[in-house]
Structure 1
Amino acid sequence: MPNQIKPVGRTIACLITCSLIAGLLPTFAVAQDAPTVNPESVLGRTTMPSPDDVSQTFPYGITGKTPPSLIKINYKGQPSYHRHRINLRLFQGCPQVEISEGGRLWATWFGSNTQAERAPFHQGQFSVISTSADGGKTWKEVFVFDPSTLLGGGASDPMLWKDPKGNIRFIGLRNIDFKGKDEFATSAWEFTMLDPENESTAWSSPRLLGNKNISVMKPLLFPDGTIMRSMDDFKLVGKPDKVRIRFLKEDVDGKSIFVSEMPVDNDAGFAEQMPIIRKDGSLFTFYRAKKGQKFAESFDGGKTWKLGGYYPMQFSINTKCILKTLPSGRVLLVANDVQMREKSGKKQYVYTDKNGKARELKDYRGARTRMTAYLSDDDGKTFAHKMLLCNEGQISYPSATLGKDGSIYIVYDQGRGTIGQHTIFLSKITEADILAGKLVDDQSFLNNIVSRPSDQGGGRRKGDKI
């Protein structure tokens, strides 16, 4: 048949294609891949018991499958002394942002009235959902995900994302200490907004996604409506030779298609991988590692992954960065523009100024500062354009979403438990701003405050031990 390729021809074509793709990126480490696995073997059995099962009739028979709920706050008539009010909060961070079809902004992050982040069960922590109807100028906290009434459960790593149909979904990660007797001690639950233009939106019933951390990075949307979720088994961080960095592929109805695994890399921290689809259809992702960001690729839709080693441009050293393909075809990277070098046996953190000269950091000497937006014109091979967003102390954990007008909304946190900080910032920029290296759009802005407890009578004070 005319469309068939003889075996020899196919082999030659494959070799040529692979060599061209490999030439786009730095030299690979030894190529590795891993097969797909049964989703249930990784996520646990996520089918729910019948509605009359004792585990579904709270407050009796609590198990890892007892559904959580969202709590409405700051509504008219609520007592002013409720326990989630901001003037009690002394720690918060790890924000996410999303925008409705009508332009309402939503943000989420987790915080605590009593302590800093405390894995693995995060007791005393809850996740806040806040919204803005005026483009991010003012914000109102409207819901809380707080599992504390279920055996002292805690929340961590919340997520907001928009599915292929434009629905905004929230993922709450719940952690309960079942003393090793329940496979869903850590469980990810997904709620869907029913009216995202309304600050008092109703929500769908929660769906159990699985027993892994699946809520740090936004899912990848494919043209056919399928999605790929990034996940990580944080309990295995630091344990050599344990597979823990994975991807879950789901069909348009949410049914699991496969779980794929990234080859073991003991340099990886909390991997926080966020793949993009390149112009040739292959997938590319960074993942968090000890000395910067490493990268991996997939040439079969995410079923197998090949490790590429450290990316030559050093940034986001052992901290989160995000990748997103823009409608223009350029790739957005939001990351910490910091490099690390050794001097006299000590780590020295530097940045490269506009003239290409390395300069040592002065105000904050660490990897988590200089939050920066980059653009790539060549599918992530290089990032030739950049603009500094924030350089005010310890800045980390970006998240981004796109407005219909081409605006890029980016959130990140500052000094999660630092006196006077613990701030969630929002910047609104455009591609033109990044290309110019400065704000040129008159609607753009940097570092509007989404939340800062110390501005509301809260926050950590001198002498507080957290």
Structure 2
Amino acid sequence: MSQPVAFRRPAAPSPACLLLLPSLCLTFASSLAAQTADPETVLGDTTMPAAQHVSQTFPYGITGKTPPSLTKINYKGQPPYHKHRINLRVFQGCPQIEISEGGRLWATWFGSNVQAERAPFHHDQFSVISTSADDGKTWKEVFVFDPSELLGGGASDPMLWKDAQGRIRFIGLRNIDFKGKDEFATSAWEFTMLDPENEHTAWNAPRLLGNKNMSVMKPLIFPDGTILRSMDDFKLVGVPNKVRIRFLKEAVDGTPIFVSEMPVDNDAVFAEQMPIIRKDGSLFTFYRARKGQKFAESFDGGKSWQLGGYYPMQFSINTKCILKTLPSGRVMLVANDVQMKQVDGKNVYYYTDENGQQQELQKHKTARTRMTAFLSDDDGKTFPHKLLLCDEGQISYPSTTVGKDGAIYIVYDQGRGVIGQHTIFVSKISEADILAGKLVNEESYLNNIVSRPSDHGGGRRPGDKL
């Protein structure tokens, strides 16, 4: 049997220390976004009922505010045939990574034993939390976030991030079919590790963040300790002329300050925006669109946003990319280094080689390959330096973290439901590697396996209908 985890009440979030980055003003065309909204009108009423309320005493009176839990797995004495074991898994993807103050790596992703991605309400999907104590060489799955016992709930889009005091937090997105009668049918819950150096750490009790997806991109931490969470209303993807790309500003103690809304852009899909603070204090973000990445800027701390259109360099076409300011002040972009053009009415995918020549993709004709780390010396205006990380198959959804020594860890997935793939990879690189365009740091590595079910007798098999 799997073992439920005991939780403690969450401590208040703590102040962060983040250096402002020097100034830059992009000159691309833009349109002004406007307003902020009252957080409750967007997130729902996140006030929790009293502990004795029926909704808090599972299994009685389940509502959207009944707290979820994490389940410990792969511990000493656990029966070997628990339902979350890796050799049953047929789909997995969308990983995230974080590192503890002591150097222990943590990763999370979601998957299923019975189906492919995106069943209604993500039914039968759960999130896995895995850890490595040897710098990513070997990994062990240690927790799952599985809401299936709560009215058939499912998990999607988990996230790990680290606050300014080094505490690692996990966000689980829960989806339950309440037949339209509960505003928290989709709900984001945040758990905080109490001992991130311990593979089976205890956790604080989960905190309800809201009823929107805010678990894909890591929060931006401001110098005063406030944070900006990226949000998206996935129910409205593909619905024209609806505001759905938002940001939540939170105080140091977690109190919502405002929700800002990006102007409607019908070209946007799953936006997956991840702002950085530029050297002049303004904010800059990419967001996912049909033909590449568009960008937006804010000059008032995230309250209003100006849309700038498509970024001049094409990459990550309708898929996730990430931005991160490194300790040196350079900005790192991790993205799919693939461009697209139409020839005779068909999409042709290509990349630009080191000599500036276009090379059509031959082996994997998809926008989701050639995962690449780029560096910018000018606050994200250009990205002249790059290092190819992986081009073996369909590669997508990067996440990154930086160790105390400046080492950069990046995870991404390969072929989520493809026979023999559905792999989570991790690469460890340095800024010097990206500047050189190849590995020059002796401690760097590319494409260590975090998880591959087919290596353990699992994974999708020929004939499986998913």
Structure 1 length-normalised TM: 0.95
- CA deviation string 1:27-59 (max 9, x = no partner): 214x22121110000000000001111111100
Structure 1 residue ranges (4+ consecutive) displaced by more than 3 angstroms after TM superposition: none
Deviation at 1:164, TM superposition (A): 1.6
The answer to whether structure 1 residue 164 and structure 2 residue 159 are counterparts is no
The answer to whether structure 1 residue 58 and structure 2 residue 58 are counterparts is yes
The aligned counterpart of 1:28 is 29
Distance in 1 (CA, whole Å) between partners of 2:84 and 2:424 is 17
Distance in 2 (CA, whole Å) between partners of 1:34 and 1:25 is 19
The answer to whether structure 1 residue 43 and structure 2 residue 39 are counterparts is no
Amino acid paired to 2:29: F
- CA deviation string 1:408-439 (max 9, x = no partner): 00000000000000000000000000000000
Distance in 1 (CA, whole Å) between partners of 2:372 and 2:311 is 17
The aligned counterpart of 1:78 is 78
Say if 1:262 and 1:224 are closer, same or farther in 2 by CA, change over 3 A. Answer: same
Alignment of 1:272-311 (within 5 A): 272-311=272-311
SS in 2 for 1:218: coil
Distance in 1 (CA, whole Å) between partners of 2:328 and 2:401 is 15
The aligned counterpart of 1:9 is none
The aligned counterpart of 1:231 is 231
Alignment of 1:37-436 (within 5 A): 37-436=37-436
Deviation at 1:302, TM superposition (A): 0.2
Distance in 2 (CA, whole Å) between partners of 1:455 and 1:461 is 13
SS in 2 for 1:280: coil
Deviation at 1:354, TM superposition (A): 1.1
Structure 1's unaligned 5+ residue stretches are 1-19
Distance in 2 (CA, whole Å) between partners of 1:146 and 1:344 is 47
Amino acid paired to 1:284: F
Distance in 1 (CA, whole Å) between partners of 2:388 and 2:355 is 15
Distance in 2 (CA, whole Å) between partners of 1:371 and 1:227 is 28
With 330-339 and 110-119 compared, the bigger mean Cα shift is at 110-119
SS in 2 for 1:432: helix
Distance in 2 (CA, whole Å) between partners of 1:137 and 1:346 is 42
Distance in 1 (CA, whole Å) between partners of 2:371 and 2:77 is 40
Structure 2's unaligned 5+ residue stretches are 1-22
SS in 2 for 1:121: helix
- CA deviation string 1:304-344 (max 9, x = no partner): 00000000000000000000001100000000000000111
- Aligned partners of 1:26 and 1:312 also within 8 Å: no
Distance in 2 (CA, whole Å) between partners of 1:243 and 1:304 is 13
Distance in 1 (CA, whole Å) between partners of 2:28 and 2:56 is 53
Distance in 1 (CA, whole Å) between partners of 2:330 and 2:119 is 37
- CA deviation string 1:62-84 (max 9, x = no partner): 00000000000000011100000
SS in 1 for 2:355: coil
Deviation at 1:25, TM superposition (A): 2.4
Amino acid paired to 1:392: E
Distance in 1 (CA, whole Å) between partners of 2:332 and 2:27 is 19
Say if 1:226 and 1:119 are closer, same or farther in 2 by CA, change over 3 A. Answer: farther
Deviation at 1:285, TM superposition (A): 0.1
Amino acid paired to 1:230: S
Deviation at 1:228, TM superposition (A): 0.4
Amino acid paired to 2:388: L
Deviation at 1:165, TM superposition (A): 1.5
Figure out how many residues of one structure are paired with residues of the other and give that number. Answer: 444
Amino acid paired to 2:151: L
Distance in 2 (CA, whole Å) between partners of 1:297 and 1:233 is 20
Distance in 2 (CA, whole Å) between partners of 1:87 and 1:360 is 37
Structure 2 length-normalised TM: 0.95
The aligned counterpart of 2:7 is none
- Aligned partners of 1:230 and 1:246 also within 8 Å: yes
Amino acid paired to 1:386: K
Deviation at 1:26, TM superposition (A): 4.6
Distance in 1 (CA, whole Å) between partners of 2:312 and 2:120 is 33
- Aligned partners of 1:120 and 1:175 also within 8 Å: no
SS in 2 for 1:284: strand
Amino acid paired to 1:326: L
- Aligned partners of 1:175 and 1:185 also within 8 Å: yes
Amino acid paired to 2:396: S
Deviation at 1:166, TM superposition (A): 1.1
Distance in 2 (CA, whole Å) between partners of 1:224 and 1:50 is 32
Deviation at 1:120, TM superposition (A): 4.6
SS in 1 for 2:270: coil
Distance in 2 (CA, whole Å) between partners of 1:340 and 1:53 is 55
The aligned counterpart of 2:5 is none
- Aligned partners of 1:35 and 1:304 also within 8 Å: yes
SS in 1 for 2:455: helix
Distance in 2 (CA, whole Å) between partners of 1:456 and 1:68 is 29
The aligned counterpart of 1:15 is none
The answer to whether structure 1 residue 456 and structure 2 residue 456 are counterparts is yes
Deviation at 1:119, TM superposition (A): 4.7
